[in-house]
Structure 1
Amino acid sequence: MPYQWPTLTNWLEQIAQPFYQQGYVILEQAIPADLCWALYQDVQHQQLTAAGVGRQGQHQLNQQVRRDHTAWLNQNNPVQQQYLQQMAQLQQDMNRRCFLGLIDFEAHYARYQQGDFYQKHLDAFVGRSNRVLSTVCYLNTLEQGGELLIYNEQDQLISRVQPNAGTLVIFESCRFPHEVLPATTTRYSIAGWFRQNSSIQGRIDPPQ
C-alpha cells in the first residue's frame, strides 16, 4: 500500500534554524509520500553490493565494522533524480541561510537486513575530507531495531532515531559520531553527503 502523509510545503524552513542552533536536524515526513514510496519500490530492484570502509586505496570490506549493502544514486534514473532534485533544493537553501559553500551531493541506497549494523564512526575528519553535511532518509518503517544513534563530541548519546519512512536526518559530518544498531527486519534508507571543495586550484577531492 502506498505511503500517505501530507506534503510539507515549508520543509526547508524547518531545517535551517534547528541546524544552525545545534548542528543536526531530524524532520519527520520531510520527503513527499509518493516519492518515498517510489524510492522504496526502486531500491528493491537495484543491484546492491556489500559496503566497505575507508577511501580509495584504503577501501576494504570489513564485516566487523559494517554489514550493509549499497547502490549509488544517479541522474539517469527518473525516481532517483527526483530525490536528488530535492537535495539540490536543500543545498541551495542551506548555502543561502547558513553560508556553507556546498557544491556537490552524493548519495547511495543502503539496505540493512536482519542482524546488519554499522559501528560508531564519523563520516569525515576535520582537514581530511570535504564532506560537510551527512543525510539519512528512511524509506520504510521499522517497529524496532535498526536505530540510528547520534553522539556529541563528548561521546554522549544525544539522539536515538527510529527508522520511519519519510524521515530525514541531517548532521555535520565531522562533528557527530553515529552508529546503526542491528536491524530486526530489512531496513532501507538513502545515505548522502554534501561536500565543499577543500582542494587546491579548484579541483574537487574524490568522494570517500
Structure 2
Amino acid sequence: MSILPVSPQGPSNESRFDEEALDYIARSLESQGYAIVPAALAPELIDALFLEVKSMSGAEFKRAGVGRKDDFQLNRFVRSDKICWLRGDTAASGAFLDWAEKLRQGLNRRLFLGLFDYECHYATYPEGAFYKKHLDAFKGQSNRVLSTVFYLNPQWSPGDGGELVIYDESGEQVLEKVLPEYGTLVIFLSESFPHEVLPAGRERCSIAGWFRVNNSSALLPDPPR
C-alpha cells in the first residue's frame, strides 16, 4: 500500500495521495488508536530518505534529550539515540514533509482532529542504543496528538532487536512489538500509548514525528518547537 506514489525520476511532491491508505489509517486510529502500515511510501522515496540519512555526517546529529523547552534534559539512562530535525531543504526531506502535510489534511477530513502542523527528525540508534518506556504527550499538558515513526532499515531481522514496543494505557500490557523494517510506518495517539525502543543490535534509523494542534493564545505563541 503506497501512500505517496513517486515518479521514477526521484521523490516528488506532486504525486496523487492514496485515499485507500488514508482510509485504512483513519479506521485503525478510530478503532484501536494506532496503525501499522508496511511499505507506506513508494520505494523511490524510501530509498532517497535512506541514502540521505546515511550520507549525513555525525556532526549533523545531536544527543537526544527528554522533555521540551524548560524541562529539556539529556539522560543517557532513558534514551541513547541521536537526532537531526527535518527542515525540508532537500528533495527527499521536502517530499517526506509534503507527504506528511497530505496525511494531516486527510486525517483532519476523516477524523476532525484539528491537526495544525507536523514536526519530525531523523533518529539514529547506534548498536546497543535504546529508548526506555515513555509517553510522547501527557493528557492536557501537550499539543502533540499523533506520533509517527517511519523506518529506514533494509534487511532488518528479528535477531537485530530494536523493536518498538507499544503498551496499553496502563503501561503493563504489550499490544504490539514492531520490527523497524524498511518502509514501515507506525502512527498512534500520543497521549494514549506508552512505548519503548528495545536495544538495537546494529545501527537503526528512522524518522520520528508528531502532528500537533495549535495552543497559541494572544499572550502565548505556540512555535513548532
TM-score normalized by the length of structure 2: 0.86
- The residue identity in structure 2 corresponding to 1:26 is I
1:150 correspondence with 2:166? yes
| Partner Cα separation in structure 1 for residue 2 and residue 170 of structure 2 | 37
The Cα shift of 1:193 comes to 0.2
2:80 to 36, 52, 67: 67
Alignment partner, residue 24 of structure 2:
14
**Does 2:137 correspond to 1:120?**
no
Shift of 1:12: 1.5
For 2:38 and 2:219, how far apart are their aligned partners in 1? 37
Q: How does 1:44-193 map to 2 (within 5 A)?
A: 44-46=54-56, 47-141=60-154, 142-143=156-157, 144-155=160-171, 156-193=173-210
Please list every run of 5 or more consecutive structure 1 residues that lacks an aligned counterpart in the other structure. Answer: 1-5
Instruction: Provide the identity percentage.
Output: 49
- 1:68 is displaced (CA, Å) by 0.3
Distance 1:127 1:117, change over 3 A: same
State the alpha-carbon separation in 1 of the partners of residues 143 and 83 from structure 2: 21
- Pair 1:200-2:210 in alignment: no
Task: Tell me the CA shift for residue 179 of structure 1.
Answer: 0.2
**Cα-Cα RMSD:** 1.6
* Cα distance in structure 2, aligned partners of 1:12 and 1:203: 33
Give the structure 1 partner of residue 6 of structure 2: none
Structure 1 Cα separation of the partners of residues 83 and 208 of structure 2: 9
The match for 1:3 is none
Shift of 1:19: 1.0
Residue 147 of structure 1: how far off its partner (Å):
0.1
Distance between the aligned counterparts of 1:165 and 1:203, measured in 2? Answer: 40
Describe the SS at the equivalent of 1:26: strand
